[in-house]
């Protein structure tokens, strides 16, 4: 059964949203590199790569279901930030926005009784819980640091320990 026109359109949009997130994280990585926070930069590079893989998951799924992939254009992301915590706050906003879009997709798939798409989207629903949690945890730690440089450098080293996520 081929995918519906409405889901095809929504998944193409989602491909754009995931690539936008990937771009945004790359831009955040560049900010940290400019400011000598190598650990935070690495964290953002890993995030950027994860988002690219998310986009590719949607891309492959669309093709597997007989859909036409029409990759949308990507707006330029923010490149400058006031502080370390502001970057992570922007990241949390972005993740919440992605979650809302995935819920929107889920709703369309459910309304159409497209259970293959419902099943496919479940991985993303769970992934978003993880994504929001890891960013929220970092924000909590940054709040405790209160902008103190020694604490920020410790957190930067902690961010450096992050390992690439295993993709399902
Ligand atoms: Fe994503
Ligand atoms: Fe994400």
- Express each pLDDT in 12-31 by its tens digit: 999 999 999 999 999 999 99
The answer to the question of residue 29 being in a domain is: yes
**Residue 45 to residues 48, 64, 131, Cα–Cα distance (Å):** 5, 29, 14
The answer to the question of residue 40 being in a domain is: yes
The answer to the question of residue 56 being in a domain is: yes
How far apart CA 7 and CA 102 sit, in angstroms, is: 12
Q: Residue 108: pLDDT above 80?
A: yes
How far apart CA 141 and CA 21 sit, in angstroms, is: 23
- Secondary structure element (H or E) that encloses residue 79, with its range: none
Residue 12 alpha carbon to ligand 2 centre in Å: 17
Percent of the chain with pLDDT over 70: 98
- Secondary structure element (H or E) that encloses residue 67, with its range: none
The answer to the question of residue 38 being in a domain is: yes
DSSP string, 42-65: HHHHHHHHHHHHHHHHHHHHHHHT
Which residues constitute the domain of residue 20?
A: 5-160
* Residue 167 confidence (pLDDT): 60
The answer to the question of residue 97 being in a domain is: yes
Residue 96 alpha carbon to ligand 1 centre in Å: 10
The answer to the question of residue 66 being in a domain is: yes
| Lookup result for tokens 């978003």 | 128
- Express each pLDDT in 50-87 by its tens digit: 999 999 999 999 999 999 999 999 999 999 999 999 99
CATH number at residue 149: 1.20.1260.10
Residue 128 alpha carbon to ligand 1 centre in Å: 7
* Residue 1 confidence (pLDDT): 83
Spatial neighbors of 113 by CB under 8 A, at least 6 apart, are none
* Nearest one of 4, 34, 26, 1 to 109, comparing CA atoms: 4
The answer to the question of residue 63 being in a domain is: yes
How far apart CA 13 and CA 21 sit, in angstroms, is: 12
Give the single-character DSSP code of 146. Answer: T
The ligand whose atoms approach the alpha carbon of 15 most closely is 1
Residue 167 alpha carbon to ligand 1 centre in Å: 12
The ligand whose atoms approach the alpha carbon of 57 most closely is 1
How far apart CA 81 and CA 87 sit, in angstroms, is: 6
* Domain total of the chain: 1
Residue 116 alpha carbon to ligand 2 centre in Å: 22
The answer to the question of residue 167 being in a domain is: no
């Amino acid at each position: 059964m081929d995918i519906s026109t409405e889901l095809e359109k929504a998944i193409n949009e989602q491909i754009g949203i995931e690539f936008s997130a990937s771009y945004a994280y790359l831009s955040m990585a560049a900010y940290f590199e400019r400011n000598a926070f190598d650990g935070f930069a690495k964290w953002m590079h890993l995030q950027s790569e994860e988002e690219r893989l998310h986009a590719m998951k949607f891309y492959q799924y669309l093709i597997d279901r007989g859909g036409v992939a029409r990759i949308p254009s990507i707006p330029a992301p923010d490149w400058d930030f006031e502080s370390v915590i502001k970057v992570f706050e922007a990241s949390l906003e972005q993740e919440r926005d992605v979650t809302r879009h995935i819920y929107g997709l889920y709703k369309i798939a459910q309304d159409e009784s497209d259970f293959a798409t419902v099943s496919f989207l479940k991985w993303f629903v769970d992934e978003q819980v993880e994504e929001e949690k890891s960013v929220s945890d970092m924000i909590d730690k940054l709040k405790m640091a209160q902008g103190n440089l020694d604490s920020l450098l410790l957190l930067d080293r902690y961010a450096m320990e992050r390992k690439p996520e295993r993709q399902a």
